[in-house]
Amino acid sequence: MSLSDPLKFFDVSGKVALITGASGAFGAVAAQVLAGAGCKLVLAGGNIEALDAVAKPLRENGTEVTTIYERPTDQEACEAMVDVTVETFGSVDILVVASGMNKVAKIGDMAPETFSQVMDVNVTQSWLLARAVSEQMVKQGDGGKIVLMSSARGLLGHPAGYTAYCASKSAVDGITKALGCELGPTGITVNAIAPTVFRSPLTAWMFEDTDEAKAVRSGFLTRVPKGRLGEPEDLAGPLLFLASKASDFYTGHILYADGGYTAG
């Protein structure tokens, strides 16, 4: 591939992408970005109505989309997602793990079962998906791209009851680094995107003009060199980079899409 035609490094047209948690905020962004870049998509999620709402406009714009109404709750579910992807499109080239959970409570108020649930959804299920997909990618012999979902909270703590979430995202970072090393010789890259606050249904209140939102936003932005909160578009470039040949020599890394939040 020639350096004189650099856009080809980002060409993912015709690639097959499996996206879990595709009805969530980042999952929907990933679906739109990869569909717009010409990928064939398998979208997985447990919320049927929300998943169909993501898939419908993509199909109307000509993207080949298959939906799986299931969460990656165990090994069998993860392997089934890979099987459906391969049976439908013949291969799986890209995995985006956008499924996840956050339960906020101070340590004295958080039930051990809640901590375990967050760790299972964010850590164990990411590991199971990477396991199932990497096995298929190794069989294919053409490498592949695995993109996990981390957070700035995997690197930094938080005073408001984030022990489970921070621990889970630190563990995702560990999986990313270890698996990046393990799969390096196969041509499969494993990386993670780690945003801070970006616009979504869960964070929409922080973007409002209420006194409460302004106070919270002002305090938060003192730590953000870019001086603003994130937008979905801020995740598009990092995702396309990690899903394309442009990142072939980039593995085991956590890419912070955070406006400089973790740099300070």
* Among 162, 165, 256, 261, the one annotated catalytic: 165
- The set of residues, in sequence order, having a beta carbon less than 8 Å from that of 192 and lying 6+ positions away, is 147, 148, 149, 150, 172, 173, 176, 253, 254, 255
Please state whether beta strands 16-20 and 94-97 pair in parallel, antiparallel, or not at all (unpaired).
parallel
250 in active site: no
Which parts of the chain fold into alpha helices (H)? Answer: 25-36, 48-60, 75-89, 112-119, 125-140, 163-183, 211-221, 233-243
DSSP tag of 229: -
Which residues are CB-neighbours of 137 under 8 A, at least 6 positions away?
Answer: 92, 93, 143, 144, 186, 188
Specify the amino acid at residue 130. Answer: A
The answer to whether the Cα torsion of 125, 129, 135, 141 is positive or negative is: negative
The burial of 92, by beta-carbon neighbours within 10 Å (0-12 exposed, 13-18 middle, 19 or more buried), is given as buried
- Residue 247 corresponds to which tokens in the numbers above? 């990142």
Is the CB of residue 253 less than 8 Å from the CB of residue 175? Answer: no
- Strand-pairing partners, residue 191, are 147
Active site amino acids: 165
